[in-house]
């Protein structure tokens, strides 16, 4: 039988394949993707030393991505950046430390495999503070992206995006929920391929029985920190203790997953997890531990409490702000949620126009899983790579407030 996207024909077939009572049913999409584990290329962690010039590079830290360095002349260095494996999307990510024995200016030329082009404007961490490379120091050309940088004996970190590794993320989580343990339950619900903890925040007030469930996800793709920044603002707003949030958490339960790909983040990956897979293509058969842990936990929560999953937001980053939505609305728990939500954002955020792109997912991505697996509203919530950080904070905060108000109507 040919599968179609017709909702009445049930694009999704639930398979009665359970491993124990808590295993999530598989969801079949029109276009299958091979998400079986694949090999990855680990970096050689080292200090790259150019003693004659007194210049040094290092990738010996979590989140680093630097595969080779070549000196082209006294002050010009080529840094080679390779993906963890292929095929992979065209979003080269890099992160490394650089310093020198004395104050000097160097030029860095980013070198990628031939078919890839530069994506991220350099971010520089100096003395604990991040800044964006000045446009006068950074330029694209046909073969490389070049970057001029002043260095000295104190190492600077040069990175495609600000580093928020698993230790940084979980430290933020612990600070966020301090004093809120009565209604925020932080749980380690599994381990990744590299044995890193995989955590969820389970948030509600009162009894969990019959409460509708919302799911928040972020960092399926390691470098996409601007989406994570929006997630931070969104979740922080919900955890503020005021009349709106108290009423909302009396009526709804939130499962928030603050780091969906700890291994990939700490390995400095462009896109994939330690299994060499884009986890946002694994929302069908759950071959990768991060997705299996997530869907199994959601399934247990829903079954145990006779609850329904009604909304799923998956925070990502791309070149510009955009909300990817499902066309199918009538069958969901809240058919009118999206137009109301987007209207509220445009009303409450100065000079903001919602950029929505709608389609029913044919590949096994999270927004399709929310819709086809649960008749929930599913959204891929994308923030631009270079959206100003204060603007991200405002968008995240106002979108959380608007969501709570609409669902409380």
Q: In this predicted structure, what is the pLDDT of residue 145?
A: 84
Encoded tokens for 290: 């991060």
CA torsion, ordered 112, 117, 120, 123, to nearest 10 deg: 40
Please choose, from the candidates 251, 250, 254, the residue with its C-alpha nearest in 3D space to the C-alpha of residue 177: 254
Encoded tokens for 217: 């996800």
Yes or no: say if 261 and 290 are a contact pair by the CB < 8 Å rule: yes
Domains contained in the chain, CATH given: 47-159 (2.60.40.3120), 166-408 (3.40.630.10)
Measured on CA atoms in the order 323, 324, 329, 332, is the torsion positive or negative? negative
Yes or no: say if 48 and 69 are a contact pair by the CB < 8 Å rule: yes
CB atoms within 10 A of CB 17: 10
Non-local CB neighbours of 389 within 8 Å, separated by 6+ positions: 229
**Alpha-carbon 197 to chain mean position:** 17
- Find where tokens 């509600």 sit: 204
Q: In this predicted structure, what is the pLDDT of residue 140?
A: 73
Q: In this predicted structure, what is the pLDDT of residue 220?
A: 98
Q: Residue 34: in which H helix or E strand, if any?
A: none
Q: In this predicted structure, what is the pLDDT of residue 386?
A: 95
Ramachandran region, residue 206 (left: φ > 0; alpha: ψ -120 to 50; beta: rest): left
Q: In this predicted structure, what is the pLDDT of residue 6?
A: 41
| Direct distance between the N- and C-terminal alpha carbons of the chain, in angstroms, rounded to an integer | 42
Does the model's pTM come out above 0.85?
Answer: yes
Please choose, from the candidates 5, 54, 59, 53, the residue with its C-alpha nearest in 3D space to the C-alpha of residue 30: 5
CA angle 131, 350, 228 (to 5 degrees): 45
Beta strands in 72-183 (DSSP E): 76-80, 95-100, 104-111, 123-126, 129-132, 138-140, 145-151, 156-159
> 321: cis peptide before it, omega within 30°?
no
Non-local CB neighbours of 299 within 8 Å, separated by 6+ positions: 22, 23, 24, 25
By CB atoms closer than 10 A (0-12, 13-18, 19+), residue 389 is: middle
**Whole-angstrom Cα distance, residue 221 to residue 228?**
10
Non-local CB neighbours of 349 within 8 Å, separated by 6+ positions: 394, 395, 398
CB atoms within 10 A of CB 172: 16
Please choose, from the candidates 402, 33, 387, the residue with its C-alpha nearest in 3D space to the C-alpha of residue 230: 387
Please, what are the averages of pLDDT over each run of 10 residues along the chain (409 residues)? Answer: 36 38 83 98 98 98 98 97 97 97 96 92 96 86 80 98 98 98 98 98 98 98 98 98 98 98 98 98 98 98 98 98 97 97 98 97 98 98 97 98 97
Q: Residue 68: in which H helix or E strand, if any?
A: strand 68-71
**Whole-angstrom Cα distance, residue 247 to residue 187?**
24
């Amino acid at each position: 039988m040919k599968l179609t996207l017709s909702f009445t024909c049930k694009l999704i077939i639930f398979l009665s394949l359970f491993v124990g009572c808590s295993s999530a049913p598989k969801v079949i999409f029109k276009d299958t993707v091979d998400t079986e584990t694949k090999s990855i290329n680990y970096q050689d962690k080292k200090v790259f030393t150019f003693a004659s010039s007194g210049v040094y590079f290092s990738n010996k830290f979590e989140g680093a991505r630097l595969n080779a360095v070549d000196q082209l002349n006294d002050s010009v260095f080529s840094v080679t950046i390779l993906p963890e494996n292929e095929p992979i999307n065209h979003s080269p990510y890099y992160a490394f430390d650089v310093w020198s024995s004395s104050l000097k200016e160097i030029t860095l030329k980013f070198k990628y495999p031939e078919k890839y082009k530069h994506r991220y404007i350099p971010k520089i961490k100096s003395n604990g503070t991040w800044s964006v490379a000045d446009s006068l120091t950074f330029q694209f050309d046909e073969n490389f992206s070049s970057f001029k940088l002043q260095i000295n004996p104190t190492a600077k970190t040069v990175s495609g995006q600000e580093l928020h590794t698993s230790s940084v993320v979980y430290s933020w989580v612990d600070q966020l929920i301090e004093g809120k343990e009565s209604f925020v339950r932080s749980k380690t619900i599994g381990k990744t391929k590299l044995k890193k903890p995989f955590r969820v925040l389970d948030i509600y007030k009162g009894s969990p029985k019959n409460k509708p469930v919302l799911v928040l996800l972020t960092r399926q793709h390691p470098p996409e920190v601007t989406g994570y920044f929006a997630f931070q603002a969104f979740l922080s707003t919900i955890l503020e203790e005021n009349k709106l949030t108290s009423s909302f958490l009396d009526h709804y339960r939130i499962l928030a997953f603050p780091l969906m790909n700890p291994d990939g983040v700490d390995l400095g990956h462009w896109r994939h997890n330690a299994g060499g897979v884009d986890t946002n293509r694994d929302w069908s058969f759950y071959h990768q531990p991060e997705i299996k842990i997530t869907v199994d936990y959601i399934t247990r929560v829903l079954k145990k409490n006779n609850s329904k999953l009604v909304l799923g937001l998956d925070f990502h980053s791309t070149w510009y702000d955009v909300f990817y939505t499902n066309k199918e609305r009538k069958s969901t728990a809240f058919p009118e949620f999206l137009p109301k939500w987007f209207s509220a954002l445009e009303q409450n955020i100065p000079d903001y126009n919602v950029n929505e792109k709608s389609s029913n997912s044919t590949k096994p991505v999270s927004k399709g899983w929310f819709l086809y697996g649960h008749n929930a509203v599913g959204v891929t919530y994308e923030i631009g790579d270079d959206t100003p950080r204060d603007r991200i904070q405002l968008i995240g905060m106002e979108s959380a407030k608007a969501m709570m108000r609409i669902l409380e109507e």
